Amino acid sequence: MNSRTRILGFLIGISSLVPSTGCERDLFNANEVGVVVVDAVLRVDARFPAIRVGRTLDPTQPFDPVAAVEENADVRITGDGMELFYVRSPDQRGVYVPGDPAALVMPDTMYELRVLTADDELITARTRTPPRVGAIDWLVLNDDGTEVVGEFTHFEDVGDQVYEDNQVVYSDGLLEARFARDLSDPRQIAYEVGLFSLDLDSDFVIDPEFFDEEDFDDLDRIISSPMFVAEEGEIRLPWLAIYFAGRYKFYVYSVDRNWFDLVRSLPEAEAGFTVGGNTGDGFDRPLFHVEGGIGLFGSASVDSIGLTVLPRDP
């Protein structure tokens, strides 16, 4: 056998393997369609919230919020020596509202959610509400973060006057929330920040040269942060989360274990490159802490601040 024959044999041999590789991959394994989804978040010192009950849908089809609702479920929350029955919302399908609208969520209390569907599926979940978040000092630091150059006023003190009092120029200084943090207290688990732009027609404060027109369209006025443990009782709020001028309301949530685990384990927005892993590893199942279904039964204590963001001088 000469070299030419061997090369030919090599190429024919390997090419015979190639057709056997032409199968399809299954991007979906739709074996969890119809699982009950509960969605309930308690806020300390607030009234018991509406609870959504739904079901998972076929992943190969576009999401249909109407098709996802679960009606005729028996929903109740027990805890703190009381049992709160929920009723179907007259306005929204798949939403259940508390039978006693005046009932308040207490801090540091264990609550259990119990959902019994019309098909006798029982879904349960438990949350221990965090203690009250306490007083938060909202500060403006210098650009190096070494010196406090301003302090925000609070809703409790001046009401909506905060938007007049607390005015900052975009990217001028650093924004920081400071609060009492006890790392030894197992009830103080982690913190999340929610940002709400209140002036829905306000202008952009950013103008990066590399943004296209459609990039601006994708920017959100309502944003949530990742999880912080804030070991020293400090959360520094980055300017990169603010795109628009105008009034903002910031919420700081001291969250329970269920909320913390779910948010930190949700698949990343770009579930491709994951630091410390192989590509695709970011698409992993979240931690739900729900028996008999998926979803969230979480709780948090909360404080908020209002401020106005002014654009930089051109």
Partner 1 sequence: MFPKVRMAILGWIACLLVTLSSNVHAANLAGVVVDDEDNAPLAFCVVAITSTDTGNVDQSVLTRTDGGFTVTDLPPGRYELKFSYIGYDSLTLPIALTGQDEPLVVRMVVKAIEMEEQVVFGDRDQVEEEVQAGFVKLTSDDLASIPAIGEADPIRALQLLPGVQAASDISSGLYVRGGGPDQNLVLLDQVPIYNPTHAFGLFSTFNPAMVDQVTLFKGAYPAEYGGRLGSVLDVRSRGNTANEVSGRVGISTIAARAQVEGPLAGGTWSLGGRRTYLDPILNALRRNNSEIPSYYFYDGNAKYTLPRGNNKFEFWLYRSNDVLRVEPDPDTFLNLTWGNTIASSAWTRVIGERVVANVVGSWSRYRSDSDFQVLTTPISIENELNDVSGQASLSVALPPHHRLKLGVAASTYRFEFLQSFNRDVDVDFDRRPKEYSVYAEDLWRPRPETTLRLGARARFLDDGNRRLVEPRLSLRQKINDQWQVKAAGGLYYQYLQLVSTEGFAAADFYLPIDDTTDPSRSVQSVLGLEWDAGGTWSAAVEGYYTDLQSLVLFDTEAPVDESQVDATTIFLTGGTGYATGAEVFIQKKKGRVTGWLGYTLGWTRRTFAEVNEGNEFAPKYDRRHDFKAVMSVSRGAWDFGFNFVYGTGQAFTPASAIFGLRDPATGLVPEFGEYLPAARNSARLLPYHRLDFSARREFSLFGLPARWQFQLFNAYSNRNDWFVQYNINDPGQLPDVVKQLPLIPSLGVEFEF
Cα separation, 237 vs 136, whole angstroms? 14
8-state DSSP, 20: G
Residue selected from 46, 149, 180, 222 as contacting partner 1 according to rule CB under 8 A = 222
Phi, psi (5° rounding) for residue 298? -120, 175
Residue 55-94 contact track with partner 1, rule CB under 8 A, x = bound: xxxxx-xxx-x--x--------------------------
Compare residues 59 and 159 and give the one whose CB is closer to partner 1: 59
Cα separation, 202 vs 209, whole angstroms? 20
What is the three-class DSSP state of 16?
helix
Q: Does 274 participate in binding partner 1 (rule CB under 8 A)? A: yes
Compare residues 153 and 189 and give the one whose CB is closer to partner 1: 189
Compare residues 84 and 189 and give the one whose CB is closer to partner 1: 189
Compare residues 39 and 165 and give the one whose CB is closer to partner 1: 39
Cα separation, 116 vs 97, whole angstroms? 15
Q: Does 177 participate in binding partner 1 (rule CB under 8 A)? A: no
Tokens of 74: 């028996």
Compare residues 18 and 200 and give the one whose CB is closer to partner 1: 18
Tokens of 245: 């001028």
Q: Does 281 participate in binding partner 1 (rule CB under 8 A)? A: yes
Contact 134, 187 (CB under 8 A): no
Contact 240, 174 (CB under 8 A): no
Cα separation, 304 vs 100, whole angstroms? 26
Tokens of 314: 């051109």
Contact 202, 163 (CB under 8 A): no
Q: Does 35 participate in binding partner 1 (rule CB under 8 A)? A: yes
Q: Does 303 participate in binding partner 1 (rule CB under 8 A)? A: no
Site for partner 1 in 251-270 (CB under 8 A): 251, 253, 255, 259, 262-267, 269-270
Tokens of 306: 């209002």
Residue selected from 135, 273, 291, 310 as contacting partner 1 according to rule CB under 8 A = 273
Q: Does 306 participate in binding partner 1 (rule CB under 8 A)? A: no
Q: Does 215 participate in binding partner 1 (rule CB under 8 A)? A: no
CB-facing half-sphere around the CA of 28: CA atoms within 13 A: 9
Residue selected from 271, 292, 304, 311 as contacting partner 1 according to rule CB under 8 A = 271
Give the rounded distance of the alpha carbon of 80 from its chain centre. 27
Helix (H) / strand (E) containing 269: none
Residue selected from 44, 53, 115, 300 as contacting partner 1 according to rule CB under 8 A = 300
Q: Does 137 participate in binding partner 1 (rule CB under 8 A)? A: no
Q: Does 159 participate in binding partner 1 (rule CB under 8 A)? A: no
Q: Which stretch binds partner 1 (CB under 8 A): 23-31, 76-84, 120-128, 154-162?
A: 23-31
Q: Which stretch binds partner 1 (CB under 8 A): 81-89, 102-110, 186-194, 303-311?
A: 186-194
Q: Does 200 participate in binding partner 1 (rule CB under 8 A)? A: no
